[in-house]
Amino acid sequence: MINKAASDGRAGLSGRGASARHRGPRSAPAPVARLSDQRAAVLDRLRHHPDGARIAELAEESGLHANTLREHLDALAAAGYVERSRSAPQGRGRPAWIYTAQVEHGAGTPHADPRLRDYAGLAMSLASILRRVSSDVERDGLAAGVEWGRNLAREHRGSGTPEERLVQLLTELGFAPTLRDDGVSLRQCPLIDAARTYPDVVCTVHRGIVRGALVEFGGDPDASTLTAFAEPDACRLEITPVRPRAQGGTPGGSGHGGTDCGRTDCGGAAPAATPRDRA
């Protein structure tokens, strides 16, 4: 069972302030692919640098040309085995890239579903455009997420309560949900680069995905709270389980078994009372 939703008025979707405090979820690795011997050797060498390494360091150690290393490292990054970040500025010129090996992916590691992973670049572009042209970024981002979440849920073949099916779906999508006493920690994000750059858009879309999926699964979209970058290495999702009525049916009485989502506030806007508190 997934435990209580926040009811004390806490901000359900943190923006740039939370992003600055916590790094948040790690990137969800792409579906596993077999590595060539040389690429596997580069990854193994990089794992000897827990704080990351520059291409120049790896070239000196391995004897490989910098351009060859860059090709291998970029491919490993695209496959989710390596994370790339800029080093601290030192003098003039662009800072060098630092490559860090991700935690080794075991058989149980949730990988990014192509339905989200393949939209990473597009998500970045659309988020940028939405912030420029939308008169209400939260409303439009939430509406897009709700529609996306409903479509994803219609394709889902899991079973269980609405909350359990939501966790199953989030696992499939690569969010690596971990159940806790106070909710669910989302330890991966298939769109983490876009989320860190445009948290007000991408995290709101994720909030909409949760709401839309809950509607399709027969849950209550208003009884969920998604707090972005709430933990040092995760976002937090809290859900109040739906309690079915004694004689069939569920709260709200809609055909979906939950809150009636024929109205606009299931996707077009957040609840009027606490517009930022709900997932």
**Residue 29 is encoded by which pair of tokens?**
């690795």
Enumerate residues 6+ apart whose C-beta is below 8 A from 64: 42, 58, 72
Helix 37-46 with 66-78: angle, nearest 10 deg: 90
**What DSSP assignment string belongs to 207-271?**
HHHHHHHHHHHT--GGGEEEEEEEETTEEEEEEPPP---TTS--TT--TTSSS-TTSGGGTTS--
d(CA 203, CA 21): 16
- C-alpha 62/C-alpha 39 separation (Å) is 12
Q: Phi first, then psi: what are they for 114, rounded to 5°?
A: -55, -25
pLDDT for 87 equals 77
What integer pLDDT is reported at residue 22 of this predicted model?
Answer: 60
Contact 274, 153 (CB under 8 A): no
Q: Output Rg (C-alpha) for the chain, integer angstroms.
A: 21
Give just the sign of the alpha carbon dihedral 213, 108, 85, 21.
positive
H or E stretch covering 94: none
pLDDT of residue 275: 33
CATH class assigned to 37-101: mainly alpha
> What is the mean pLDDT of each successive set of 10 residues along the chain, which is 279 residues long?
38 41 61 66 84 90 89 82 79 80 54 59 85 93 94 88 90 84 85 86 94 94 89 88 46 38 38 39
What is the pLDDT at residue 23? Answer: 64
Burial (0-12, 13-18, 19+ Cβ within 10 Å), 35 = middle
